[in-house]
Amino acid sequence: MRTDFATAIVTVLYVSLIGSPILAVEYPVVRTQDGAVRGIAKGGVREFLGIPYAAAPTANRRWRPPARHAAWTTPLDATHFGASCPQPSMLERNYSISEGCLFLNVFTPDPPGKFLPVMVWIHGGAFVIGSGSSYDASTLASKHRMVVVTINYRLGALGFLAWRELDRESPEGVSGNYGLLDQQAAIKWVKHNIDTFGGDPKNITLAGESAGGMSVCMQLVSPQASGLFQRAIIESGPCLYEPTLAEAERHGDQLAAKLTCDKNKDKVACMRAKPADQIVAAMPASITGPLLWAPVVDGRVIPQQPAEAFRAGVFNRVPVMNGSNRDEGTLFVAMGGPLSKADYSKAIAGFASRSPTARRNPQDAAKVVGAYPLKDYASPAQGLAAVLGDAIFSCPVERAGQLLSQHVSVFEYEFNDRDAPLIFMVHPPFPLGAYHASEIQYVFQTGFPAERRSTPGFSPAQQKLSDDIAGYWAGFIASGEPGAASPKWEPQKRGDTKILSLAPDGIRYESDFDTTHHCALWNSLLP
């Protein structure tokens, strides 16, 4: 592979009519194994956007592993994001949608370096929404001298349909997990090409938040991802969520029936002939309820549940940064309807009996109701938010860290800025605190989602916290040890959980995490 950076650079100079300083914008060209790509360089960062890392998963490629993209002979315009994968319209967005969506975006410093550390970022969104274009990695790349790659992967039923009819046509006899295979294809592309962008293919950190964090968990467990990355960052990714293959295949049958393909002689051909938007419209999908379309244990891509793999030490052993936010549940409850005092206990008991991270024993519901008395919360909704956040995120995330730390270095955190700038809701029905996904703007140090082109609007103390967080992350990405912010971040030790609280009034180790989040209760209910 060629290792020179620019085979051509075109410089365009813009001069305003009032005599403002000249602004130089360059269009560097980098050659990949598939062909040259022309990006854009300005303000100390180079961006190469919308690069295809695999062929469009359309027509007969739908519900198959990703295939290599055909090479091109003239430089590819990489100055704009590619299309995002088909998804329900749940959140504000300003990007195009297409089933041909397997693109990635590369951010590097300008001028570029050599053998820089690389972070591959997997977006969240409950495996049904999201896009790599939502993340502006320009500050991370330029300020911390690294290469950042954001990716798309197939979502919803198009990315995670486990169905017996697809099992029959698969050479491996399995289906589903296509989105995970996309992620692996993207990381392989990075390993094969990132040196021409100034990155080190032997120093890759796989990172993600929420469903992206869960994806990182799954890639830790997947034998097919062995050797693809050297470190892992899991932000608010409950590794111990355990959907079953039987449940996933039942959803597949229901989707086929809804699309009237269940009685067709060739059910698979019928499903492949359906337009992508019809499939999206037909699939039940929610970012606040159970994950209906998600990775499953298929015996090949994911041989066993993450909890089992972590306990046995049978996973891709790399250093891990792992953590959650103080108020993970508030955003999800705020997106739902109001909750009355009269319905409070019933709502908690109902959740406890069907919690995706618990054993689903209805007899345990009374224990949960007793642990979260309404008098302890300003409103019923905030009480329910505490239950949801503790059960699905805080305690499972901590438990996963404990299991992993028996075999690898684990750096555990809790994000604790309870006045974090609001991203998704301008006027929430109650204070959201350190809500789900609120730490992303502190890590990237830019507005999120990036389509809104906003700035985080930090106070001086929040800006200092963001600088420290980004420094910790950058150090870990570079070397496997968090950066030099104070205090020094120590890894967990066997039997000694060390959780670093990231708050604007000071970074310090926590002593009351388990008590605050009722983890003794939830750990007793975990599989």
Which residue out of 84, 133, 138, 210 is catalytically annotated? 210
Output the CA–CA distances (angstroms, integers) from residue 113 to 195, 247, 320, in the order listed. 10, 48, 26
Task: Identify the helix (H) or strand (E) that includes residue 412.
Answer: strand 410-415
pLDDT at 422: 94
Whether 368 and 387 have beta carbons less than 8 Å apart is answered as yes
What type of residue sits at position 359? R
* Catalytic residue (one of 47, 165, 249, 328): 328
User: How far is it, in rounded angstroms, from Cα 217 to Cα 310?
Assistant: 10
* DSSP state letters, 140-157: HHHHHT-EEEEE----HH
Catalytic annotation present for 409: no
CA dist., res. 28 & res. 344, Å (int): 58
Separation of first and last alpha carbons in the chain: 47
pLDDT for the residue 76: 97
What string of pLDDT tens digits covers the 527 residues of the chain? 343 434 333 333 333 333 444 457 899 999 999 999 999 999 999 999 999 999 999 999 999 999 999 999 999 999 999 999 999 975 545 568 999 999 999 999 999 999 999 999 999 999 999 999 999 999 999 999 999 999 999 999 999 999 999 999 999 999 999 999 999 999 999 999 999 999 999 999 999 999 999 999 999 999 999 999 999 999 999 988 777 888 899 999 999 999 999 999 999 999 999 999 999 999 986 666 678 899 999 999 999 999 999 999 999 999 999 999 999 999 999 998 899 999 999 999 888 866 655 555 667 788 899 999 999 999 999 999 999 999 999 999 999 999 999 999 999 999 999 999 999 888 999 999 999 999 999 999 998 887 655 678 899 999 999 999 999 999 999 999 998 778 999 998 776 789 999 999 999 999 999 999 999 999 888 66
The domains located in the chain, with CATH, are: 31-317 (3.40.50.1820), 319-345+373-516 (no CATH)
Show the tokens assigned to 383.
């009480």
Upper half-sphere CA count for residue 421 (Cβ side, 13 Å) = 21
Contact predicate 350/413, CB 8 Å: no
pLDDT score at 23: 52
Q: Which residue from 191, 475, 173, 101 is spatially nearest to 319, judged by alpha carbons? A: 475
Residue 104 confidence (pLDDT): 98
Q: What residues pair up with 325 in beta bridges, in sequence order?
A: 415
DSSP state of 261: -
- Listed residue (284, 289, 287, 258) closest to 271, CA to CA: 258
Instruction: Name 431's Cβ contacts closer than 8 Å, sequence gap at least 6.
Output: 330, 418
User: What's phi and psi for 11, nearest 5 deg?
Assistant: -110, 130
Which 3 state secondary structure label does DSSP give 420?
A: coil
DSSP state of 295: -
For 229: left if phi > 0, alpha if psi spans -120 to 50, otherwise beta; the answer is beta
Tell me how crowded residue 104 is: count the other CB atoms within 10 A of its CB.
26
Residue 486: Cβ-neighbour burial (10 angstroms; 0-12, 13-18, 19+): exposed
Q: Which of 218, 248, 214 is nearest to 392 (CA)?
A: 214
Residue 12's pLDDT is what? 38
CB 102 within 8 A of CB 57: yes
Computed on alpha carbons and rounded to an integer, the radius of gyration of the chain in Å comes to 23
Q: Tell which residue, 129, 117, 121, has the closest CA to residue 151.
A: 121
Contacts (Cβ under 8 Å, ≥6 apart) of 289: none
Q: Is residue 436 flagged as an active site residue? A: yes
Q: How far apart are CA 56 and CA 102, in angstroms?
A: 6
In contact, 230 and 318? CB cutoff 8 Å: yes
State the catalytic residue, choosing from 436, 438, 439, 466: 436
Examine the residue annotation and report whether 247 is marked as an active-site residue of this protein: no
CB neighbours (10 Å) of residue 364? Answer: 18
Which residues lie closer than 8 Å to 397 by C-beta, 6 or more apart? Answer: 234, 236, 237, 238, 239, 322, 323, 324
